[in-house]
Amino acid sequence: MKAGASEVAITPQNSQFLFGYPHVERYSTGVHDDLYAAALYLDDGETRIVCITHDLIFVNRDLAREIREAVSKQTGVPAGNIMLTATHTHSGPIMTDYASNLNDPIVPKADRAYWEFVKECSIRAAVEAVGKAEPSVLGMTRADSTGIGTNRRDPAGPADHEVPVLVVMDESQQRYLACMMVGSMHPTVLHEDSTLISADFPGMAKQYLKKRVMGDSCVMLYHSGPCGNQSPRHVVSATTFSEAERLGEILGKAVEKSLAEPFFPDNPKLNAVSRLIADLPRKTFPDTDSAENNLSRLQAAMKRMVAEQAPHPQVRTLECDIFGAEETVTLAQLARDGRLEAYYASCLPAEIQVLTIGPWKFVGWSGEIFVEYGLSVKRAFSDTFVISLANGEFQGYIVTSEAAEEGGYEASNSLFTPEAGDILVQETLELLKKTAEQGLSK
């Protein structure tokens, strides 16, 4: 195995609108911690793959396509063997024009100049990673992220605290070249009151591991697992940097603990396969009057909740539901006027990507996915981990049927029905089965 890794800062050089919370004129006033594009290149002599992570809320499909094509042209790595992801920090620049925010006068269009800057840096990180390739050893372990968050609506509800950790070391195992992990938790410790650029708790975890465990030269890659309904809100005491650092340290220490007994596979092989789904089942939106009536109902409930001095997590959940109801009004208007089609076109076809690294498989899905769908894949195939926000986004969430019936923020701004998640699972299982059969026949 040969491996190389590189990271390039993508911290904006000017003030940027920080995306993730509506109705707040939240332009950056400074930098708390840098944002990075980090790339890992692996080559087993037959197959070459590249993973590129970004401390951003999204990397949309068009940007992902442009980066993959450019990296492929400059390195020879097939574009289908390149996975791009975003950590989903809500304290970084706006990266795509969201249909549900169209009527929010505060939210601007994505800054195309910054878009181009990210593209340039991401390509550079990948090309540098390929150029740094050297004989290497892969180590694998699993960390327990308990303590960094819970299910967003029900703290006792479905969650996935297993964090796969892939470490890449030089041939003598004296130096860490890279560390790649997947965490299924929304990076939303920091809220709309913060105007400093930050990677939130995943960035703090990467800093902890660099300083305390692996050294500053180790390239850190953090992928976001299925975390559409996962949040830190029930475990934090405030929306502050100190709390983000506390959660980052919890994750960092968990990874550090897991490194006590890593597994080093013999002669690990690589593989990359993918398939495209032309369309996914689309949601039917209510008429605009019904959408506006639902919004009024939730706003009245908020007045009652505030008067009763309800606990902050309950208030925050209802506040998000109001955001979702407002966005449903916008989506209902777009559907009525026939303007949603352009947004569907921006995120379709849906790509499923499977990267095999030794005994492990990493499944890439676009969009914000509820954790139940990822758990379904893991139950069917061991040593398999789903990465969300890969190679694009879905203009919203993919929720479960239960969440759709309940309503609420996530279901309110989804463009697709819960059946879309079922299709992703089914198609993924078929692709994994096919991959396994091909492996046995070799």
pLDDT of residue 200: 98
Instruction: Flag whether pLDDT at 218 surpasses 80.
Output: yes
Instruction: Flag whether pLDDT at 119 surpasses 50.
Output: yes
| Domain extent for 331 | 288-337
**Residue 160 contacts residue 225 (beta carbons within 8 Å):** yes
* CA–CA separation, 132 and 259 (whole Å): 24
pLDDT of residue 260: 94
* CA–CA separation, 73 and 77 (whole Å): 8
Asked if residue 148 and residue 251 are part of one domain, the reply reads yes
Length of the chain equals 442
Asked if residue 329 and residue 191 are part of one domain, the reply reads no
Q: pLDDT grade, residue 320 (50/70/90)?
A: confident
* CA–CA separation, 364 and 387 (whole Å): 5
User: What share of the chain in percent tops pLDDT 90?
Assistant: 86
Averaged pLDDT, 337-365: 96
Q: What is the DSSP string of 160-214?
A: --EEEEEEEEETTS-SEEEEEEEE-S---SS-TT--EE--HHHHHHHHHHIIIII
* CA–CA separation, 174 and 130 (whole Å): 21
Asked if residue 292 and residue 272 are part of one domain, the reply reads no
* CA–CA separation, 312 and 169 (whole Å): 44
Q: Does the residue 282 lie in any domain?
A: no
Domain boundary among 337, 354, 376: 337
Asked if residue 190 and residue 76 are part of one domain, the reply reads yes
Q: Does the residue 283 lie in any domain?
A: no
pTM: 0.94
Exposure string of 282-319, with b = 16+ CB inside 10 Å and e = fewer, is bbebeebeebbebbeebeeeeeebeeeeeeebeebbbb
pLDDT in tens, 415-436: 999 999 999 999 999 999 998 8
Averaged pLDDT, 163-185: 97
Asked if residue 329 and residue 243 are part of one domain, the reply reads no
pLDDT of residue 438: 78
Q: Does the residue 40 lie in any domain?
A: yes
Asked if residue 429 and residue 332 are part of one domain, the reply reads no
Asked if residue 202 and residue 133 are part of one domain, the reply reads yes
Instruction: Flag whether pLDDT at 351 surpasses 80.
Output: yes
In the numeric block, the tokens 């990076």 are attached to: 187
Asked if residue 330 and residue 267 are part of one domain, the reply reads no
* CA–CA separation, 45 and 40 (whole Å): 16
Averaged pLDDT, 157-165: 98
Q: Does the residue 24 lie in any domain?
A: yes
Q: Does the residue 324 lie in any domain?
A: yes
* CA–CA separation, 437 and 442 (whole Å): 9
**Residue 388 contacts residue 425 (beta carbons within 8 Å):** no
Residue among 393, 386, 398, 382 at smallest CA distance from 355: 386
Average pLDDT, the chain: 95
Asked if residue 113 and residue 32 are part of one domain, the reply reads yes
Instruction: Flag whether pLDDT at 294 surpasses 90.
Output: no
* CA–CA separation, 46 and 277 (whole Å): 28
Q: Does the residue 184 lie in any domain?
A: yes
Task: Work out how many domains the chain is built from and give that number.
Answer: 2
Asked if residue 311 and residue 271 are part of one domain, the reply reads no
SS3 113: helix
Q: Does the residue 262 lie in any domain?
A: yes
Averaged pLDDT, 283-308: 90
Residue 419: is it exposed, middle or buried by C-beta count within 10 angstroms (0-12/13-18/19+)?
middle
Averaged pLDDT, 62-75: 98
Asked if residue 378 and residue 250 are part of one domain, the reply reads yes
Instruction: Flag whether pLDDT at 441 surpasses 80.
Output: no
Q: pLDDT grade, residue 440 (50/70/90)?
A: low
Asked if residue 200 and residue 56 are part of one domain, the reply reads yes
Sign of dihedral through CA atoms 34, 42, 384, 58? positive
Q: pLDDT grade, residue 442 (50/70/90)?
A: very low
Q: Does the residue 352 lie in any domain?
A: yes
Averaged pLDDT, 215-227: 98
CA distances from 120 to 13, 35, 99, 114, 368 (A): 14, 14, 26, 10, 25
Instruction: Flag whether pLDDT at 291 surpasses 90.
Output: no
